Structure 1
């Protein structure tokens, strides 16, 4: 029989999993997500999360508790009489009593190859670290930080052309399919769990805006991976003097290029920039307060000649 599920998630990344669970006949009796936040052009309207928007479209009851640690919240959670809870980027810690409430427990979809990149920003950190691959894993949750036993995994190569958005968009449907398969195994009583290795544990700390400034002294591939790992948010940035004034730009996409000179020096009229070793060519960027644009469009409004310097 299809499972009776609670779904817990917040951002775009979680939406494909919710949709696939419903499409495969599971009964999602409630959706837990974060409360709406002010947004819109003037920040005056409350904006529901992407998961809430989809849940309401599907007619699923939505709950947005500020905490799950009160007796009232636990009683409400238990009242759903769920077989399992599926958790995808929910953004809130689940206490042990909540983890124990569903019949089979709570299962999390995590966007890394655990135990590598436990924590908040696995997609960004995998790219920034130069990893050759990433993936998704379904694990049965415990009270640790992404330390639960693993049920299933899928791997995906990371290329130097991938930004954080690209990897996010590739992993989201891959993870949705993996979670559906895991819930199918749980339904049939054949889902096997394996303890995580104690070797190779790393932590994906939340991205701090202070680490977003580009260091042109680093080798070109490290600069490229730093840029792509922070694209589009918060965006790796640097400064250049344009029209006589220093201007901050975010670099959103780049590629390896030939050339060498002082780190940060523009080498040609195509936005090739020297690094500590080698060079990169900027393909997409965003001037402060402006929309993102292709490098060619930027150069039409802000012509830069060889010899200009990015700080």
Structure 2
């Protein structure tokens, strides 16, 4: 028998799970998401979250509380009379009183292979660290930071060509399918849990803009993974110095290349850049205030050759 569910999520990553739960017959009685933020061309219009837009299209009631720690918020949550809550990148801590409300518990879909990369930015951090694989896990929530018992998992290889956007887009539908299967197992009474290991715990701290500047003195593979882990947001960047006014460039996609030189040196006319060990070739980039573009399009407007450099 399908469940009465509360769904709690905010970004694009959460939307496939909401859609799959509804498609499989579960009754989503309420959607909790973050409040709209100013956006649009001039930042004047309030922009609903991707989850709110989808919930309203489906006719599901939407709630955007600023906190879940008040008696009023607890009473409102309890009034939904839900069997379980499904949480996907909600962005707000659930206090114990809220976790205790649903009859069967609160279940989180997390974008890493726990206990590796607990926290806010697991997709970015896995790429930036050079991990060979990532994945999604369904976890029964407790009050810790992604410390709950794990029920099910799916793994996915990370290639050097993958950006954070690529990995996000691969994990989101994988996670949606996993959560639907987890709810099916929970219905049948067959969802089993295991405690997370205390070995291998790492934390995926929120990405800070100060991290985005490229350090060309690092080995080429580390530079590539740094660039791809921050693509498209906030975007790893460097300053182009070709004898004129320095121009900030976001580097969004690259590949390993042959060659060597002083870190940051442009090695040829096809955007090969020297690193501390080896080199990378820029494939997609963005001038400050401009649209992203392929390397060939960039070179038509800004032909770069040695001795230009990226600092």
TM-score by structure 2 length? Answer: 0.99
Give the secondary structure class of the aligned counterpart of 1:194. coil
Q: Is 1:242–1:302's contact at 8 Å kept on the other side of the alignment?
A: no
Q: Provide the rounded CA distance (Å) in 1 between the counterparts of 2:189 and 2:176.
A: 20
Q: Is 2:12–2:50's contact at 8 Å kept on the other side of the alignment?
A: yes
2:40 corresponds to 1:78: no
Q: Provide the rounded CA distance (Å) in 2 between the counterparts of 1:199 and 1:292.
A: 41
Aligned position for 1:55: 55
Q: Provide the rounded CA distance (Å) in 2 between the counterparts of 1:62 and 1:41.
A: 25
Deviations 1:236-280 (A, max 9, x none): 000012571100000000001000111111111100001011100
Q: Provide the rounded CA distance (Å) in 2 between the counterparts of 1:79 and 1:183.
A: 21
Output the aligned Cα RMSD. 0.7
Map 1:175-214 to 2 at 5 A: 175-214=175-214
Q: Provide the rounded CA distance (Å) in 1 between the counterparts of 2:242 and 2:206.
A: 32
Map 1:1-12 to 2 at 5 A: 1-12=1-12
- Consecutive unaligned residues in structure 1, runs of 5 or more: none
Deviations 1:22-54 (A, max 9, x none): 000000000000011111101111110000000
Deviations 1:44-73 (A, max 9, x none): 111100000000000000000000000000
Q: Is 2:107–2:141's contact at 8 Å kept on the other side of the alignment?
A: yes
Aligned position for 2:88: 88
Q: Is 2:243–2:308's contact at 8 Å kept on the other side of the alignment?
A: no
Q: Is 1:10–1:34's contact at 8 Å kept on the other side of the alignment?
A: yes
Q: Is 2:242–2:307's contact at 8 Å kept on the other side of the alignment?
A: no
Q: Provide the rounded CA distance (Å) in 2 between the counterparts of 1:138 and 1:242.
A: 50
2:231 corresponds to 1:269: no
Q: Provide the rounded CA distance (Å) in 1 between the counterparts of 2:35 and 2:220.
A: 41
Map 1:98-137 to 2 at 5 A: 98-137=98-137
Aligned position for 1:19: 19
Which has the larger displacement, 234-243 or 275-284? 234-243
Give the secondary structure class of the aligned counterpart of 1:249. strand
Q: Provide the rounded CA distance (Å) in 1 between the counterparts of 2:177 and 2:74.
A: 29
- Consecutive unaligned residues in structure 2, runs of 5 or more: none
Q: CA deviation at 1:306?
A: 2.1
TM-score by structure 1 length? Answer: 0.99
After TM superposition, what 4+ stretches of structure 1 lie above 4 angstroms from structure 2?
Answer: none
Q: Is 1:118–1:146's contact at 8 Å kept on the other side of the alignment?
A: yes
Q: Provide the rounded CA distance (Å) in 2 between the counterparts of 1:239 and 1:5.
A: 49
